[in-house]
Amino acid sequence: MRFLMKRNYNQDIQLFKYRSTFFWYLALIIGCCLLPLVLDDYITSQLSFICMYSIATVGLMLLTGYTGQISMGHAAFFGIGAYTSAILTSKGVPFLLALPTAGLLAGFIGIFIGLPALRLSGLYLAIATMGFGFIVDEVLVRWESLTNGNMGMMVDPVSIGPLTFETEVQFYYLTLVVLVLTILAAKNILRSPTGRAMIAIRDSEVAAQAMGISMAKYKTMAFAISAFFTGVAGSLYGHKLTFINPESFTILVSIEFLAMIIIGGLGSLHGAVYGAAFIIFLPQLIIMTKDYMPKYLADQTGLESALYGLMIMLFILFEPMGIYGIWRKKKFYFEMFPLYKKDTFKKEKKYFKAERH
Amino acid sequence: MAFFETHNISISFGGLRALERVSFEVNKGEVFSIIGPNGAGKTTIFNCINRYYNLDEGAFIFKDKNIAKVSPHVVADLGISRTFQNIELFKNATVIDNLLLGRHRHRRSNLFMEALFSPSVQRQEIESREKAEEVIDFLDLQAYRDQFVSGLPYGVQKTVELGRALAMEPELLLLDEPSSGMNMEEMEDLSFWITDIKEELGISFLLVEHNMRLVKEISDRVLALNFGVVIAQGTPNEVLGHPEVMKAYLGEEGASTAG
């Protein structure tokens, strides 16, 4: 464990607490940039999916993990982003403009979805947002002149000026850049008054109001920010698939988003990315381990969804802090190496919780 | 015109009259205590000031402005901060984050600037931290600075709540039973802090308190409530010795023996 001697306030507001942390994150980004050199196209495209889903889950994490407002309708924002961007680019709007517009439109609609959150909480909010998801899904199906209904629509590949992003590797870099920017923005918001206000609303609405935090403003703002990121992710998703139809944005996707942030670890941005990576790679892992399973088990239909469900249950039972919780314990084990005991962790947990975000 | 004025406020819950035409004034830089047996309506007054409840009638005048109809967060924005009877801290945040949340009403940044963490946001953060650090020094919270609130002892949590209210730099501070659950030493600290805050920062206090020794020690004026009705108002000695107050606390018989 390291203790830092702080000598001025600038040290207190730095993004990276230690120089070494900055180094490791830099190494991580460089590593991510080098990955496509050693991986085949298929895995690279899976990595793009991880990046896109991570952008969406960072959005949902801000809303659910930090503001404490559940949403079962995030697939709708994802869909709004995808369709907005697809329609705009088909009309000749450059991608660089269509991407933020997709996010902004989703964010704008998010404001209105945030309004019921002022009166609803918990399960009721979940049902209300789910209803919103159904409505958007239905609109996408029925508004045929714009969305081409159930037939779906083709999406143009991405190009920014002379740069095209048609190959898997190129697209991966695009999603990676957007993901890094998303995480930076989310992190910055979280260490500013708005982010703290969101956490305050999660922990005690009564006290938050007594501190001068307006419920109306910050709850709708949390919905809008969250929807913005999810809309941006949706835009990338559409361009990646090059074909979208309303079936890609059903309630199942919303539930998948929620599963990602719960498995990743609620209340941490790391968790959002871990969760997305885990859920994307889970089917691959199952396929890979199939060869080692007894034949009667491996041939069983529905094996994947059963394992998927089992994983979520096990996480909620044994590691409510998700993958991020496991990661923190492992990190602590190595930092304390010869001295680590289970109880030490429990004791130090309080101290460590402080550095959660 | 008084600094803070409560004007004939009444509120009822169903058939229960919780407050009946209660009026009092708090002057600038004074400690004003409200006492009364359980269920007298003391905390209800606070919750009305904070706009968690709607008044049936009456008005709160704060700095010549009627605040009986504004939104709850506006009350804090105007400079009234409070603590709660059953601690309402942000449990999954550190002590310093809790204090920084107290600084919310002084923010000048908007979301866009914050997403970029622009230099002006950085300056604002540093400024907030300086203020929060002053409060930490004043209340001796250094040891708990980076700890999570949920694991702290009860008395320390109470102090953190006072600190959070102070970090707001309020003009009027509402303290709801600040000494409950505190030991003797913590209580002495508390009475010292309240007097100090009053004298050095000129903050006025509205206090709900059960500990009569503390009330006597720090209050400038006292108001006694029973079943939502004002039964006595005046200096601590006057009110605590008032026969009606004794009757409310000790019953008819007890009051006659004590008197």
Per-domain residue ranges for chain B?
4-79+170-258, 95-167
Q: A164 CB near a chain B CB, below 8 Å?
A: no
Q: Which helix (H) or strand (E) holds B17?
A: strand B16-26
Which chain B residues are within 8 Å of A202, Cβ to Cβ?
92
> Of B42, B48, B41, B45, whose CA–CA distance to B18 is shortest?
B41
Q: Does the distance separating the beta carbons of A10 and B126 come in below 8 Å?
A: yes
Q: Kindly identify which residue of chain A lies nearest to residue B123, measuring between CA atoms.
A: A10
Tens-place pLDDT, residues A121-176: 888 999 999 999 999 999 999 998 888 888 889 988 888 888 888 888 999 999 99
Q: Does the distance separating the beta carbons of B148 and A211 come in below 8 Å?
A: no
Instruction: Kindly report the pTM of this predicted structure.
Output: 0.90
More confident: A297 or B106: B106
Tens-place pLDDT, residues A332-344: 778 777 766 666 5
Q: Does the distance separating the beta carbons of B105 and A193 come in below 8 Å?
A: no
Kindly report the nearest CA distance between residue A168 and chain B, in angstroms: 30
- The fold of B4-79+170-258 is Rossmann fold (3.40.50)
pLDDT of residue B84: 93
Q: Does the distance separating the beta carbons of B102 and A210 come in below 8 Å?
A: no
CA distance A11 to A19: 11
Q: What is the ipTM of this complex?
A: 0.89
> What distances in angstroms separate CA B211 from CA B39, B83, B179, B181, B187, one per listed residue?
16, 17, 7, 11, 10
Q: Does the distance separating the beta carbons of A200 and B93 come in below 8 Å?
A: yes
- Model confidence band, residue B197 (pLDDT cutoffs 50, 70, 90): very high
- Average pLDDT (A342-353) is 54
CB-nearest partner of B115 from A12, A185, A208: A185
pLDDT at A9 over 50: yes
pLDDT at B224 over 80: yes
- Average pLDDT (B101-119) is 91
- Model confidence band, residue B92 (pLDDT cutoffs 50, 70, 90): confident
More confident: A295 or A72: A72
pLDDT of residue A257: 93
The dihedral sign for the CA sequence A77, A81, A82, A88: positive
pLDDT of residue A347: 53
pLDDT of residue A356: 43
- Model confidence band, residue B76 (pLDDT cutoffs 50, 70, 90): very high
pLDDT at A355 over 50: no
pLDDT of residue A283: 82
Q: Which residues of A93-116 are buried (b: 16+ CB within 10 A; e: fewer)?
A: eebeebbebbbbbbbebbeebbeb
> Of A14, A10, A191, whose CA–CA distance to B130 is shortest?
A10
pLDDT of residue A4: 72
pLDDT at A317 over 90: no
Strand ranges for chain A from DSSP E = 153-154, 158-160, 163-165, 243-244
CA distance A132 to B3: 48
Q: Where are the domains of chain A?
A: 25-250
pLDDT at A331 over 90: no
The angle at the Cα of B72, spanning B173 to B19, to the nearest 5 degrees, equals 75
Contact of A274 with A256, CB cutoff 8 Å:
no
CA distance A191 to A12: 11
pLDDT of residue A2: 66
More confident: B101 or A287: B101
pLDDT of residue B236: 93
pLDDT of residue A350: 52
More confident: A298 or A271: A271
